[in-house]
């Protein structure tokens, strides 16, 4: 997989938006693209593309990513403890908190998440990320400046195959264009591209988080130039890592090119089934999309609740 370095060098966006740029391809999202995306709202139908945050989530502990721990801090049974703090005394109060890895469910990968050869995107040193301080330069909070919000386009690769893709099945540019042709749509500058592989059903339908992590279908390095030329703002998929990974083999070559070299934010563990069914029914595969991350200072990723509105 050594060729990803040469490919990354060819497709590099370092310096394209200035030496201090922190959001990469999200620069393709403009005031105009957001205004135009708003015009796609016709029916007022809203689709939640996330999986729930809870103890029964898809994480199985790999890389320290466990499911959220949700606890109650105050319940109605604690009213005697609240006497003198909350009035009137018969008021009912419930309060809770959560502890979780920021990348354990539906999420954005920030530009401080993956790099190689000592650098993250735009020549930012790996030394800018530390255990105590987090990411001092490429923080996930920076991407909020662009939402990410704009025109979302769903390409349904399962419809091309006629089934859920297999764990080691690679999506090629020919597949992307076949989906475009079938759906009569074209992915363009500033779009947030959503790819449906069907893989999320390992978790949502078959209820096996273990199988969900046994490799995955997804894009390969052959798609990098396609995404670059189309000026895609961000890409997300219904698997755990966007790119194809054979069981037991996680090279993250596409992560390296997309995040480190191109500066592209990646969305993972999206649930696209309900949206895909609606798009299939009405033939409309574009929509208003918005999915701001949590405003985590110095974070390299964030859980999200992405919304598609038609």
Q: What is the mean pLDDT of residues 56-84?
A: 83
216, 244 contact by CB (below 8 A): yes
What is the residue-averaged pLDDT of the chain? 94
- Looking at residue 251, what is its pLDDT? 81
CA 40 vs. chain centroid, Å, equals 22
Task: Assess whether the previous peptide bond of 13 is cis (omega < 30° from 0).
Answer: no
pLDDT of residue 62 exceeding 90, the answer is no
CA distance 210 to 245: 15
For residue 229, give both structure tokens. Answer: 């030329």
254-278 pLDDT, tens digit each: 999 999 999 999 999 999 999 999 9
Let me know how long the chain is: 310
Listed range (61-70, 131-140, 153-162) with the worst mean pLDDT: 61-70
Is domain 3-62+101-309 annotated with CATH 3.50.30.50?
A: yes
- Predicted confidence at residue 61, as pLDDT, reads 86
For residue 75, the model assigns a pLDDT of 86
Least confident of 161-170, 182-191, 219-228, 241-250: 241-250
User: Within its chain, how far is the Cα of 214 from the centroid?
Assistant: 19
What is the model's pLDDT at position 82? 66
pLDDT at position 185 over 70: yes
| Boundaries of every domain in the chain | 3-62+101-309, 70-99
What is the mean predicted confidence (pLDDT) over 165-186? 97
Per-residue model confidence (pLDDT) at position 2:
55
pLDDT at 84 over 80: no
Higher-pLDDT residue of 241 and 62 is 241
Q: What is the model's pLDDT at position 182?
A: 98
pLDDT for 74: 85
Task: Output phi, psi for 265, to 5 deg.
Answer: -75, 135
- For the chain, the distance separating the N- and C-terminal CA atoms, rounded to the nearest angstrom, is 40
Q: What is the dihedral of CA 292, 225, 215, 105, to 10 degrees?
A: 0
Confidence label for 80 from pLDDT (cuts 50, 70 and 90): low
Give the model's confidence band at 27: pLDDT under 50 very low, under 70 low, under 90 confident, else very high: very high
How does pLDDT run across 96-122, given as a tens digit for each residue? 999 999 999 999 999 999 999 999 999
- Tell me which of 45-59, 161-175, 219-233, 239-253 is least confident: 239-253
């Amino acid at each position: 997989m050594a060729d990803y370095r040469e490919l990354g060098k060819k497709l590099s966006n370092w310096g394209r938006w200035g030496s201090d740029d922190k959001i990469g391809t999200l620069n393709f999202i403009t005031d105009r693209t957001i205004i135009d995306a708003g015009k796609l709202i016709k029916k007022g139908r809203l689709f939640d593309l996330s999986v729930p945050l809870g103890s029964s989530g898809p994480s199985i502990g790999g890389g320290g990513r466990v499911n959220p721990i949700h606890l109650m801090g105050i319940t109605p049974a604690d009213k005697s403890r609240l006497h003198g703090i909350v009035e009137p005394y018969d008021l009912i109060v419930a309060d809770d908190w959560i502890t979780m890895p920021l990348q354990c469910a539906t999420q954005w990968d920030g530009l401080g998440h993956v790099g190689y050869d000592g650098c993250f995107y735009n020549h930012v040193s790996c030394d800018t990320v530390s255990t105590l301080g987090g990411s001092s330069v490429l923080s996930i909070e920076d991407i909020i400046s662009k939402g990410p919000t704009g025109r979302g386009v769903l390409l349904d690769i399962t419809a091309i195959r006629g089934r859920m893709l297999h764990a080691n099945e690679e999506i090629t540019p020919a597949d992307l264009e076949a989906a475009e042709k079938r759906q009569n749509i074209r992915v363009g500058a500033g779009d947030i591209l959503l790819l449906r592989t069907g893989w999320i059903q390992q978790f949502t339908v078959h209820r096996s988080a273990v199988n969900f992590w046994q490799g995955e279908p997804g894009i390969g390095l052959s798609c990098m130039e396609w995404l670059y030329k189309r000026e895609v703002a961000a890409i997300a998929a219904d698997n755990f890592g966007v790119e194809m990974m054979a069981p037991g083999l996680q090279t993250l070559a596409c992560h390296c090119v997309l995040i480190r070299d191109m500066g592209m934010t990646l969305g993972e563990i999206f649930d696209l089934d309900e949206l895909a069914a609606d798009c299939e029914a009405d033939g409309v595969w574009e929509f208003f999309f918005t999915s701001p991350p949590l405003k985590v200072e110095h974070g390299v990723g964030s859980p999200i609740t992405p919304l598609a509105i038609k």
